[in-house]
Each structure stands twice: as structure tokens, then as C-alpha cells.
């Protein structure tokens, strides 16, 4: 059974206070500076950052990555998590709600990376189910967005597999740390699609 445990009370105004999202096998916990050593242990692998704007290749880069996430959290536009495997009790990655737009009841799910040994497992599927459930059923969002580098075919396929609809390409959308002009592909799930998406993700986890 999927359980969402939260230390913020439900309301229609998208209370973005820190929240713990717990499932059968995965828990998402509010990111803190104390998590930096565990994130460094699994996250300083260059292949994890191939398609991101920044290259988190050493401890200082991870410290900056976490600080930037916490700065956005303080502004109320982001809610970053560490991803924990419940069975091993190990942190296996990170993800977040970003670009939180309270007046328009929408948010983005992204900034997701997972340790190589936990990729293509239940981890990402259950984490996304937890986050989407929180967004649509607690925040009452009408839209959840996803975006990825247009060249990242693996990520594009993974987002589509969640049930998100591809909306189009934003050309020259971002400039990466190495100076490359990145095109971004946008996807979304809207309120009226949520029940079908939820059922599909639940069925995927059972398989």
C-alpha cells in the first residue's frame, strides 16, 4: 500500500513546507546539508551529469548543488528531496519539485538522478508515484511539468513511460556549464489525466 506521510497539513493553497513521502520501498526526505556525504558517496559519477546543466564531479560541486537547491527552497519555488531505499536504508539519489507556481497550481518534477545500481528498478517509478500523488491529491495541482535535454533519448522515453504527454521543444532553451546551447523537451500531466496515470504506475510497480 502506498502511504504518504507529511508534516504539512493539506490545503488548497499548496503549502510547500517540508514533507516526507513514504512508499513501500522508497522514501523521499527533505534534502539537508547533512546529506552531502551520502550524496557524494553515490553521486560523483560523471555519467550521472552528462545531460545536466552543471557537472557535479567533486565534493565542492555537490556542496554547491545542495546549497542552490536549499536556496530555491527558501524562496518557496523548490522542494528538494533525497531518495532513500527503505530496505537498505541507503540514500540512492535525489529529486525535487521545482518552479512551484502556487497561483496557477502547477509545479515541475525533475532534477532527478539515481545511483547507477538503482537505475531501471522500482526506485524511479515509486518516487514519481509518490510525488505525483502529493502534487495532484494534496496540493490539488492542475498541471505537473517535466523537461529534459532533447538529446537525452533515455530520459525522454522514461518520462513518456510515466504517462506524461510530450508538448514540444524549446529551442536554445538553456546554456550548459560547458557552453552548449541546449534544446529542452517539455512534457506534462494534467489533472484530468491523473487517475489513469496513477493506475498505470501502480500496475508497473506490481509487475
Rounded to whole angstroms, the Cα distance separating 198 from 191 reads 11
Structure pTM?
0.91
Rounded to whole angstroms, the Cα distance separating 20 from 172 reads 36
Share of the chain above pLDDT 90, in %: 86
**Is-contact 115 90, C-beta < 8 A?**
no
* Mean pLDDT value of segment 106-116: 97
Kindly provide the b/e burial profile for residues 150-186, where b requires at least 16 CB atoms within 10 angstroms of the residue's own CB: bebeebbebbeebbbeeeeeeeeeeeeeeeeebebbb
Residues ≥6 apart with Cβ < 8 Å to 187: 145, 146, 147, 148, 159, 160, 164, 165, 166, 167
* Mean pLDDT value of segment 190-199: 98
* Mean pLDDT value of segment 147-169: 96
Rounded to whole angstroms, the Cα distance separating 203 from 201 reads 5
Residue 1's pLDDT band (cuts 50, 70, 90): very low
Is the pLDDT confidence value at 199 over 90? yes
For the chain, the average pLDDT equals 93
**What pairing do the DSSP bridges indicate for beta strands 26-30 and 181-190?**
unpaired
Residue found by looking up cell 547533512 in the block: 34
Rounded to whole angstroms, the Cα distance separating 80 from 149 reads 20
pLDDT tens digits, residue range 27-67?
Answer: 999 999 999 999 999 999 989 999 998 889 999 999 999 99
Sign of CA dihedral 36, 42, 46, 48: negative
CA-CA-CA-CA torsion for 201, 165, 85, 3, nearest 10 degrees?
Answer: -50
Is the pLDDT confidence value at 23 over 90? yes
* Mean pLDDT value of segment 159-188: 95
C-alpha cell at 105: 497550481
The pLDDT of residue 109: 98
**Is-contact 56 18, C-beta < 8 A?**
no
Residue ranges of domains in the chain, CATH in brackets: 21-206 (3.40.630.30)
Amino acid at each position: 500500500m502506498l502511504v504518504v506521510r507529511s508534516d504539512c497539513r493539506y490545503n488548497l493553497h499548496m503549502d510547500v513546507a517540508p514533507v516526507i513521502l513514504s512508499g513501500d520501498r522508497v522514501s523521499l526526505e527533505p534534502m539537508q546539508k547533512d546529506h552531502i556525504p551520502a550524496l557524494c558517496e553515490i553521486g560523483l559519477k560523471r555519467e550521472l551529469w552528462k545531460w545536466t546543466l552543471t557537472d557535479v564531479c567533486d565534493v565542492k560541486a555537490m556542496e554547491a548543488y545542495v546549497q542552490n537547491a536549499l536556496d530555491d527552497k527558501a524562496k518557496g519555488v523548490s522542494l528538494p528531496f533525497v531518495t532513500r531505499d527503505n530496505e537498505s536504508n541507503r540514500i540512492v539519489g535525489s529529486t525535487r519539485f521545482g518552479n512551484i507556481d502556487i497561483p496557477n497550481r502547477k509545479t515541475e518534477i525533475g532534477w532527478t538522478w539515481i545511483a547507477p545500481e538503482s537505475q531501471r528498478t522500482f526506485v524511479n517509478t515509486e518516487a514519481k508515484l509518490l510525488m505525483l500523488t502529493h502534487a495532484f491529491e494534496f496540493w490539488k495541482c492542475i498541471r505537473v511539468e517535466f523537461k529534459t535535454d532533447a538529446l537525452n533519448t533515455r530520459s525522454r522515453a522514461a518520462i513518456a513511460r510515466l504517462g506524461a504527454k510530450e508538448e514540444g521543444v524549446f529551442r536554445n532553451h538553456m546554456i550548459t556549464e560547458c557552453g552548449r546551447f541546449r534544446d529542452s523537451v517539455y512534457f506534462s500531466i494534467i489533472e484530468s489525466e491523473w487517475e489513469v496515470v496513477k493506475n498505470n504506475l501502480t500496475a508497473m510497480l506490481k509487475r
